[in-house]
């Protein structure tokens, strides 16, 4: 399964905002960009989509940036993916020129169940789950680094 860079970067940005705004701090685009090596200009195209779907809210002013609009445990992966690209979790239909009985059989046996599973899975994974896993993995990678002088 392929997802777009836009979706991947959007998920990364939300994880970053969730982790860095937990104490009421505002997260700046430049900080996300620097921490994850994502173009700030690209993030500035993605974050408004997350704001429009009310996953994040912007704080104006010199010390402005972004914060979550609701708790991370209330945001599902499906909410996030659908806000960035609502075609990913949808069954893609076949070319209409193909034999409809064959394509219908393939859809009913393969693609329809895959779509149902993906929607159920993405509904069960929250932003909190993603941030927890990221924190665990980041903690392990820091421990694995050992420097000798």
Spell out the domains of the chain, with CATH numbers in brackets. 5-144 (1.10.10.10)
pLDDT given for residue 148 in this prediction: 53
Q: What pLDDT is recorded for position 106?
A: 86
How far apart CA 139 and CA 120 sit, in angstroms, is 29
pLDDT (0 to 100) of residue 36? 96
Q: Tell me the pairing of strands 56-59 and 65-68.
A: antiparallel
Q: What is the pLDDT of residue 140?
A: 57
The angle, 0 to 180 degrees and rounded to 10, between the axes of the packed helices 40-52 and 29-36 is 120
- pTM assigned to the model: 0.84
What is the pLDDT, as a whole number, of residue 16? Answer: 97
Residues in the chain: 149
> Would you give per-residue pLDDT tens digits along the chain (149 residues)?
678 999 999 999 999 999 999 788 999 999 999 999 999 999 999 999 999 999 999 999 888 899 999 999 999 999 999 999 988 887 666 666 666 888 888 888 988 898 899 999 999 999 999 999 999 998 855 444 445 55
DSSP state of 59: E
Q: Report CA 111 to chain centroid distance, whole Å.
A: 23
CB 49 within 8 A of CB 86: no
Residue-level pLDDT at 7: 96
């Amino acid at each position: 399964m392929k997802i777009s860079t836009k979706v991947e970067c959007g998920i990364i940005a939300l994880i970053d905002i969730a982790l860095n705004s937990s104490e009421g701090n505002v997260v700046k685009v430049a900080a996300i960009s620097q921490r994850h090596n994502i173009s700030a200009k690209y993030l500035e195209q993605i974050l408004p989509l997350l704001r429009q779907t009310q996953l994040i809210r912007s704080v104006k002013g010199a010390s402005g940036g972004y914060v979550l609009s609701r708790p991370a445990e209330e945001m599902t992966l499906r909410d996030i993916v659908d806000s960035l690209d609502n075609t990913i979790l949808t069954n893609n239909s076949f070319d209409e020129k193909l034999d409809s009985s064959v394509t219908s059989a393939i859809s009913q046996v393969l693609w329809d169940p895959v779509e149902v599973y993906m929607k159920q899975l993405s509904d069960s994974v929250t932003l909190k789950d993603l941030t927890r896993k990221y924190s665990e993995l980041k903690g392990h990678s820091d421990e694995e680094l050992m420097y000798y002088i």
